[in-house]
């Protein structure tokens, strides 16, 4: 999963057709737990582009998009948010896949 390097990059890639952002931080234990599952998820949903957004580095993006817990996921299509999975709870692979399936259906 690629990491967002700038606000400008975030704004650019969210305009693509099928972009998923994972908001995360190195100190987040729930983020670390799901990390080993991410390559399989990316492979299964290869039509989508996946990006990590470091919550500490890009707090303004988090505030703008109401990200209050991590890991959290936003699904964008052509610049419009079509689905979100934002909770303070630990996420499972199955929950992330359900979120992606719902986002693809929107």
CATH of the domain at 71: 3.40.30.10
Q: Which one of the listed residues 20, 22, 28, 100 is annotated catalytic?
A: 28
> pLDDT-based confidence at 53, cuts 50/70/90?
very high
pTM: 0.94
Residue 62 is among the residues annotated as catalytic for this protein: no
Question: Is 31 an active-site residue?
Answer: yes
In terms of residue numbers, what domain contains 9? 2-105
Number of domains in the chain: 1
Q: Which long-range contacts (CB under 8 A, 24 or more apart) does 11-15 make?
A: 13/49, 13/51, 14/76, 14/79, 15/76, 15/78, 15/79
Catalytic choice (20, 22, 31, 100)? 31
**pLDDT (tens digit, 9 = 90+) per residue, 54-97?**
999 999 999 999 998 899 999 999 999 999 998 878 899 999 99
């Amino acid at each position: 999963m690629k990491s967002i390097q700038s606000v400008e990059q975030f704004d650019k890639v969210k305009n693509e057709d099928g972009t998923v952002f994972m908001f995360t931080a190195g100190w987040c234990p729930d983020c670390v737990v799901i990390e080993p599952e991410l390559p399989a998820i990316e492979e299964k949903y290869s039509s989508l582009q996946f990006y990590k957004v470091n919550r500490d580095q890009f707090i303004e993006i988090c505030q703008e998009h109401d990200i209050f817990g991590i890991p959290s996921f936003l699904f964008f299509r052509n610049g419009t948010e079509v689905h979100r999975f934002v909770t303070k709870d630990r996420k499972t692979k199955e929950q992330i896949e359900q979120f992606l399936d719902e986002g693809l259906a929107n």
